[in-house]
Structure 1
């Protein structure tokens, strides 16, 4: 998105974090598939630690979990 593009111009930290998945019907495979849901967070230059700490705390609280490869991101 726009935040990601702007982050590179200003040297800001930009994290995209998977938080879940939702089902949708694929017109390609003609079956239900899973689509990942992500959030994008941007902080000003020099504040990378804010995002690192936030992600660490969210993982510690169980809000964020491990991500798998393949058709299902979260198993």
Structure 2
């Protein structure tokens, strides 16, 4: 999920995320997992605010990290 810098802080990301999580629960998923990059600081902060926890750092040139969240 990427929100244009012009649209950031508009609530669009939060709205998209709420629908995504609700649909995942409807389909019976118990966890969501994603990857992002450490240099995308706003994105990392967004996911962490929504309960995602970093569980793996790939230590690659792209600074890729994996985050997950248990759906309750």
* TM-score, normalising length: structure 1: 0.29
Q: Which has the larger Rg?
A: 1
More strand per residue: 1 or 2? 1
> What TM-score results when the alignment is normalised by the length of structure 2?
0.30
